[in-house]
Amino acid sequence: MCGIIGYIGKREACPILIEGLGKLEYRGYDSAGVAVMNSGKTDVRKCMGKLRALEDAIRNDIPRGSLGIGHTRWATHGGPSDANSHPHTDCAGNITVVHNGIIENYMELKEALTAEGHTFVSETDTEVAAHLIEKFYDGNISEAVCRAAKMLQGSFALVVICNGEPDRIVAARRYSPLVVGLGKGENFLSSDVGSFLSYTRDAVYIDDDTAVTVTADSYSVTDFDGNPIRKEVHKIEWDASMAERGGYEHFMLKEIHEQPRALRETMRGRLSPDSGNVELPGLNLSDEYIKSVDRIRMIACGTAYHASMAAKYAIESLCKIHVDIDFASELRYREPLIDERTLAVVISQSGETLDTIVGLREAKENGAKVVSITNVVGSMAAREADGVLYTYAGPEIAVASTKAYTTQLMVLYMLALYIARIRGTVAPEDAKKYCEELWDLPEKAEIILNDYKAVREAANRYYCFNGFLYMARGINLASALEGALKIKEISYMHAEGYAAGEMKHGPIAMIDPTFATIAMCVKSKTYDKMLSNIREVKARAGEVIAIATNGDELIESYADKVIYIPETLEVFSPVLVAIPLQLMAYQVAKNRGPAIDQPRNLAKTVTVE
């Protein structure tokens, strides 16, 4: 996820671009850059680091001109560096581009363009777009951008300027956000309205597979074949700080709602429901090695550890291989059995958690190959591992992890299917069924997010209870622990995640009318056992909220409150179960009042032991 911006008008563009990028920094801050055009010449300034570094670099020599584009980067292809920073240009420096998204076929396009004589100076997917537009440019930049856009696979919002046409900015979109801000004698382009709200509240949202050409006084929208499209102008009612959060009250809520998109981004280009195949180019492990591995050891902390718990169930069942899971903080102080036949899987949203990095090094020292699953390109976990699988969740700002967790699960499921294919433990027809089911998860997540009245009602009823017990069996034990962690960290309430079958060995003593139990009761092989556990809680005057599968009427006669989610295979259900639990934690915290995005005593990245 990156932030992009464009300005055309009568004022100096650079200060407006810098101000707008400041509002977009929540989308990424590995590097920043601007390109400002003056008398048909473009001055590109960019550098690695936060926007502040760019501001320092240009303070005494600000590029002048009233047309420009800018970018704040969240690295996906090519680590953070000056060369990989946007804007990128074509060979002649005539066409300048900023991009948000991932161009999946960039390698193949890069090879073809290189063979035609184009020279590349960065490792990014974006640079391909600049050269492709150069190839098609024939005096009409709008046409060239559309022709290039048609050839790109993946997601993109591109904003493009061309020295030969100094009166316009052209942009194109597929899957990544793009909005035009309409001022008086000036116009804006951006990933997010928040970046231009201090100038105008009139906005035109650009749809997928369309392009827009913007001058200081006009805008025109077309499809990629040049057919005109009429667009409505929206009046933005949000204030500037709300706009940064896309209109959501908190980043956490925004990030919960981003999960369908994040899951799609994470699958795109890797999983094919048609063939039942998974490709994991960053994994960097030979088939021979995967066949030779005799155990997998997962190393993680907190929420990422819960993802590893779910993965243990999934991998052991799909790949028939032994999986150990470790709190990274525990691993280094014992003598774990790790050797050359161990595949270590390190999971970390930030890729910088100290305990996890130490665990990674320990695994390597003992001869294991290490694969990191992380959200941050170029992070320590990515740099030090043998292979990297990125979760394309985009920056997670709220301290409580949400979209990082579900995308970690998604990567782990894809890894399980990949290993299962190589080791021959899943039949091809079953692999196809699993891929189809994974492919449908984002849509099912959307269904949950479109209507969660039942979650709100439950939160409103139970937020002043003395505590919560989350109980589950099987793979959703991970969900129970994750649900309890979410509520603890943002509402400061006592909560525990427990295996339902273990309740009778102690925790059931806590049950009374002031203690609420959240039971993971989706369709599974232990469904009947869960019903019995609910009965046991009810018999002790406890209140029960069940997370159940759509269409399950029986559960209504057991639980006090039911939150339904769409049906999926039990093995993948933690992705969907997580969402109402996140929303529940959010709503309870909202009712109780703590600072949701920055809870007390916590930090987003824990770089101490």
Interaction between residue 407 and ligand F6R (CB under 6 A): no
CB of 343 to ligand F6R, least distance (A): 19
Q: Which is nearer to ligand F6R, 282 or 501 (CB)?
A: 282
Nearer to ligand F6R, 122 or 374 (CB): 374
Q: Footprint of ligand F6R on residues 382-401 (CB under 6 A)?
A: 400-401
Q: What are phi and psi of 96, to 5 degrees?
A: -125, 135
Count of CB atoms situated within 10 Å of the CB of 62: 16
Active-site annotation holds for 2? yes
Q: Segment near ligand F6R (CB under 6 A), from 39-47, 86-94, 302-310, 526-534?
A: 302-310
Distance CA 549, CA 530 (A): 13
Among 190, 259, 540, CA closest to 404: 259
| 302 lies in the site for ligand F6R, by CB under 6 A | yes
Min CB(348)–ligand F6R separation in Å? 3
Count of residues for the chain?
609
* Segment lying near ligand F6R (by CB under 6 A), choices 44-52, 121-129, 205-213, 343-351: 343-351
Q: Is 301 in the site for ligand F6R (CB under 6 A)?
A: yes
CB of 298 to ligand F6R, least distance (A): 12
Kindly tell me which residue out of 51, 304, 478, 588 binds ligand F6R, with binding defined by CB under 6 A: 304
**C-alpha dihedral, 55 to 56 to 61 to 64, nearest 10°:** 0
C-alpha 570/C-alpha 565 separation (Å) is: 12
Residue carrying structure tokens 């100096």: 12
Output 187 or 401, the one with its CB closest to ligand F6R. Answer: 401
Q: Which of 2, 14, 319, 435 is catalytic?
A: 2
- Pick between residue 16 and residue 575 the one whose CB is nearest to ligand F6R: 575
C-alpha 536/C-alpha 469 separation (Å) is 13
Q: Where does this chain touch ligand F6R (CB under 6 A) — which range of 87-95, 243-251, 253-261, 300-308?
A: 300-308
**In terms of CB distance, is 190 or 350 closer to ligand F6R?**
350
CB 149 within 8 A of CB 128: no
CB of 496 to ligand F6R, least distance (A): 16
Please say which residue, 500 or 596, places its beta carbon nearer to ligand F6R: 596
494-499 β-sheet, strand order: 494-499, 467-472, 515-521, 543-549, 561-565
Nearest to 546 by CA among 523, 570, 513, 512: 523
CB-based contacts of 117: which residues, under 8 Å, 6+ apart?
A: none
Q: Which residues pair with 43 in a beta bridge?
A: 36
Counting contacts by CB under 6 A, is residue 379 touching ligand F6R? Answer: no
Query: Toward ligand F6R, which CB reaches closer, 278 or 581?
Result: 581
Q: Which stretch binds ligand F6R (CB under 6 A): 169-177, 210-218, 299-307, 559-567?
A: 299-307
CA-based torsion, 302, 580, 490, 507: positive or negative: negative
Minimal CB distance to ligand F6R: which residue? 302
Total number of residues that touch ligand F6R (CB under 6 A): 15
Handedness of CA 426, 295, 263, 272 (dihedral sign): negative
d(CA 593, CA 326): 34
What Å distances lie between residue 297 and 423, 487, 604, 606, CA to CA? 17, 28, 25, 22
Chain residues 568-607 in contact with ligand F6R, contact rule CB under 6 A: 605-606
Residue type at 595? A
For residue 303, state whether it binds ligand F6R (rule: CB under 6 A).
yes
Residue 449 within binding range of ligand F6R, rule CB under 6 A: no
Q: Applying CB under 6 A, does 349 fall inside the site for ligand F6R? A: yes
435 catalytic? Reply is no
Stretch that binds ligand F6R, among 80-88, 129-137, 208-216, 346-354 (CB under 6 A): 346-354
On the CB side of 324, CA atoms within 13 Å amount to: 16
CB-wise, 319 or 581, nearer to ligand F6R? 581
| Tally of helices (H runs) and strands (E runs) in the chain | 19, 27
Q: Which residues sit opposite 342 in a β-bridge?
A: 295
* Nearest CB to ligand F6R, comparing residues 47 and 354: 354
Task: Evaluate whether 215 touches 188 at the Cβ level (below 8 Å).
Answer: no
Q: How far is the CB of 261 from ligand F6R (least distance, A)?
A: 20
- Letter for the amino acid at 485? L
- Nearest distance from residue 563's CB to ligand F6R, in Å? 20
Contact track, ligand F6R, 487-506, x by CB under 6 A: --x-----------------
Q: What is the smallest separation between the CB atom of 355 and ligand F6R, expressed in angstroms? A: 8
Residues in region 503-562 near ligand F6R by CB under 6 A: none
Rounded CA-CA distance 542/304 in Å is 31
Residue found by looking up tokens 């048909």 in the block: 40
Q: Which alpha helices (DSSP H) does 84-125 contain, by range?
A: 106-115
> How near is the Cβ of 485 to ligand F6R at its closest, in Å?
6
Question: Which residue stretch of 28-36, 298-306, 430-438, 496-504 sits at the interface with ligand F6R (rule: CB under 6 A)?
Answer: 298-306
How are the residues of the chain apportioned to helix, strand and coil, as percentages rounded to the nearest 5? 40, 25, 35
From the list 432, 433, 561, 604, the catalytic residue is 604
Binding residues (CB under 6 A) for ligand F6R: these are 301-304, 348-350, 353, 356, 400-401, 485, 489, 605-606
Show which residues are catalytic.
Answer: 2, 604
